[in-house]
Structure 1
Amino acid sequence: MIRTRWALAGILAVALCTDAADADRPGVAERRAQVGQAAARGAEGLPVLQAALEDPSDLVRRAAVQALARMDGGAQGVLEAALDNRDPVVRRAALLALAGDPSPGAVARMARGIADADPLVREAAVQWLVEVSPSSEEVVALLRRVENDASPEIQALALTALAALAPAAGAFHPPARDTVLLRQRPDMVDHVASIVVAATIPLPREGWRFRVDPAGEGHMQTWFEPAYDDARWSDIQIETAWMAGYTGVGWYRRTIDLPARPEHLAAEMVFGGVDECAWVWVNGVYVGGQDIGPEGWNQPFRVDVTRELRWGEPNQITVRVLNSLAAGGIWRPVRIEALGLKR
């Protein structure tokens, strides 16, 4: 039927998945022989091959789907029906035979594959999608469906592919920020020694929401907006590394309640350490961050939040973190300082 590299790979996988002990069961050898004879008759043998797909023997079912995948034509309808077969090996072989080699025109078929109940079929579908060239929005959309798959192997395949497909046009460029920290303001040059911390508000360690962003596109989906729904994100603590084995972009979100406004000249958010780069939003407004590469992993930094904080109200805080080596995340405490002048 569709003698492509991927269809043949599916056929080979069928052979590797068969149970040798099944061959010794009564009648199996005879029924396999009937499958071979039916395959030799071409279209005339289709009814026998279709019936064999429901055989109790793995060997017979898989021999039948192998034969169907090898046919030059006429087997498409039977293979379509095989996508609902109880045997995941049969479903995988049928899917790959119908799709042929990875190409944009056959991408829609893989929607069925990535939704399959068995990881064997889902993984084959993801591997097929990864090889489609040129890629497309349709491919990216399908890969996004499995980026949180129950199978770690499938997750890794999808996330790696999405990261590679991230469009250059969507590269993150933080907005310009014209504010200056209080101690660096020209009008404070003669008063730096008199600046004191009038109030300190530690940010809670618990209660943060977190999501990895391997494709680096959270900013395009406005994950920093206060109204963004993060209900499906994971729970996470700060003051610790985010997870083992992940390098890339991750986002933290939390809403905090602030007390009544203290007397102060400026307010600054102080980060004890973020591994390794960070960009911060308060109530949807970008307020700055630190982007000095891996050397920044243990460097404290602060951002001015004087205009953005809403005293006596809830305040939404978002932090985008990029880590390129080892552990990552907001691993040291964060606090808000209200700054004033010594009386």
Structure 2
Amino acid sequence: MKGALLINLGSPDSPEPKDVKKYLDQFLMDERVIDLPYLLRAFLVKGIILNTRPKKSAAAYKKIWWQDGSPLIVLSKKLLEKVQKQLDIPVALAMRYGNPSIENGLQELHNKGVTEVLLIPLYPQFAMATTETILVLAEKIRKEKFPAMKFSTIPAFYNREEYIENLAKSVDVELQKHTFDYVLFSYHGVPERHIKKSDITKSHCKIDGQCCASSSPAHEFCYRHQCYETTKQVVTKLNLKEGTYSTSFQSRLGRDPWLQPYTDATIDGLAQKGIKNLAVVTPAFVSDCLETLEEIGMEAAHSFKENGGAYFKAIPCLNDNDDWAKTVANWIEKWKKN
């Protein structure tokens, strides 16, 4: 019997410091998130970050926490419900970090008699710290707990026509509500070294402004290329004029170089240059979460206005959008028939 598992990033169980600390420990100790040797990673995370960051992060989570729970979890469950209604095979939900865990999701499917599972990492673009870590952990759990299960995977869908259509349509709905001077496509940041580590050619990715635009097998696993390609395809759909949009990367940790330009500096710079009405799209996420609701929707909005901007709109992610739910269900149905 076939079934599917939707897998998102995850969230603390509550916005309280103890739960945030537990979540950050699991997240930041992942060797594909902070790719340092174990002892150095443990010193950085357990010795420094977990002694300072949980209270600050908990305060941020409290700003965006909904009455019925974490926005990311609530929205992911709503997506699951809409997808399941369109299918006659079981679909479950899991998170890479926190609850419900990947093991719990696989157990749920196993209990329903599922022996073939379609893993769907809910990340449009491939990255070590997102898609890869999900697939590695899922395979580890399969070998240990469910050896008879067979896995299939939906690869990065950043350039799939139906996804681009869903994203562009959802953005256009918001752009029609107000006159915007500029649209910024802000993606989650990763260290530059992650891009080079994911380069299957071991030579193409130089992050020099040229490599992402030139054809290469490396693009299959190049997060940076896939981000720029997502922007390019959505911009084409929306017919945005050159000079009225750009791509940036948010969230960075430590002193090593991360993908640039940085979102916070870009937003401040746009305001300082006279952009008064700014829309920000966050296509690295399919569900609104701390990074979109607090970091962009609150912190970036405040900074934009402090620097001279007038109107700021954080455009919602696809979340449980009906078209998006139909797209995911169609992917599963197509796989089921093969």
Q: TM-score, normalised by structure 2?
A: 0.20
Higher relative contact order, chain-length normalized (CA < 8 Å, sep 6+) = 2
Greater per-residue helix proportion: 2
Structure with bigger strand share is 1
